[in-house]
Amino acid sequence: MKHIEFLNNVPEKFKKDVIESLQNAIGDDIKLDVKINELDTDNGNPMRIWDFINRNIGKRFSKDDFIVTGITKRGSWKMKFIFDKKLGILYTLMREERFESVRKEVSKRKTIHYSQALAETFNKGLVAKEEQLCLFKDQNYYDSDKVNEIVSKIINDLSIPENIIKNHAMILFKGNNYELESIRCCIVNSNLSIVQDDDWSNYIEFNESTIMDVVETPEAKNENPSNGLKLKQKAKDKIGQKRLPERKEKETGLKTTK
C-alpha cells in the first residue's frame, strides 16, 4: 500500500485564496448579479455561481508562479482546474452533496466519472482505511482506454505535462444562504473512497456583505424587481464600473466593442 501525505504541505495562503474565491462567488458576486440584472427569481443561482467561482479562481492565481489554472469541458459543462507546480497536485472543486451523489453511483455507472479517471491515473494504488480489510478492494470497474481518453483531454486542455502531476485532490465545499459553511481537501482513490483529507473550514473568516439585507416591504418589492436588495457603497462602486461602457455608449451615440 502506498502512503501519501502531500496535503500536509499545502500552503496556508493557498487555502485562504481558494476560500476567499469561493466566499465571494457564493456571497456578494451572485447577490450583485441579481441586483444588476434585476432578477426576481434565483432558480439559476446554483449553476451560475460556478461561473463566478471559475472567474475568481483564475484571477486569484493569475500572478502566482507556482499555481496554474485552466478550463476544460465535460460535455457542455466547463470546469476550472488548479495545478500546484511545486507539489504536483492537480485540484478539482466540487460541492459536497455532488461528491456524495457521484460516490454512491460508482459501482452502477456505465461510464467512469472524470474524478474517478483522475484518481485512477494519479492516485493509483492508494487504499482507504475502510477498504484495507475488504477482500474485493482490487475489483476493477474501469475501461483503461476510456480513463486515458478522459485524462488526456483534461491535461491537454490545461497544457500540463502528465509526467509532472503527482496526485489528484478534490476540494469539497458546502454553501448555504450566500455563505460558505465548510471546506475540505481530499485525496481519493478510483472508488472515490477518501484516503486522506484535510479540513480547511477553520480558515473561513466572516466577511461582511457589501450588499445590505433584503427589504421586505411590498412597496420596495414592487418598485425594485431585484427583491429590494440594498447596496453599500462598495457594491455601488462595482456596479458603476460594470456600467461605465454603457454610459459612454449613450454619451457618444457609438456602440462599444469588446
All structural domains of the chain with their residue ranges: 6-203, 211-252
Burial environment of residue 122 by CB neighbours within 10 A (0 to 12, 13 to 18, 19 or more): buried
Query: What one-letter code names the amino acid at 60?
Result: R
Of 45, 41, 47, which is closest to residue 27 (Cα–Cα)? 45
Q: How many helices (H) and strands (E) does the chain have?
A: 8, 8
Q: What is the pLDDT of residue 39?
A: 84
Whether the CB-CB separation of 18 and 201 falls below 8 Å is answered with no
Would strands 77-84 and 89-95 be described as parallel, antiparallel, or unpaired?
antiparallel
Helix boundaries (H) for the chain:
12-24, 30-36, 45-60, 96-104, 114-122, 144-158, 218-223, 233-252
Residue-level pLDDT, tens digit, the chain, 258 residues: 444 577 999 999 999 999 999 999 999 888 888 888 888 888 888 899 999 999 999 999 998 999 999 999 988 899 999 999 999 999 999 999 999 999 999 988 888 999 999 999 999 989 887 775 554 454 556 788 999 999 999 999 999 999 999 999 999 999 998 999 999 999 999 999 999 999 999 999 987 776 765 433 444 444 444 445 555 555 556 556 555 555 555 555 544 444
Q: What is the pLDDT of residue 247?
A: 52
Q: What is the pLDDT of residue 96?
A: 97
Q: What is the pLDDT of residue 214?
A: 43
CA distances to 53, 84, 114, 147, 156 from 153, rounded to whole Å, are 22, 19, 10, 10, 5
Residue 256 CA from chain centroid, whole number: 32
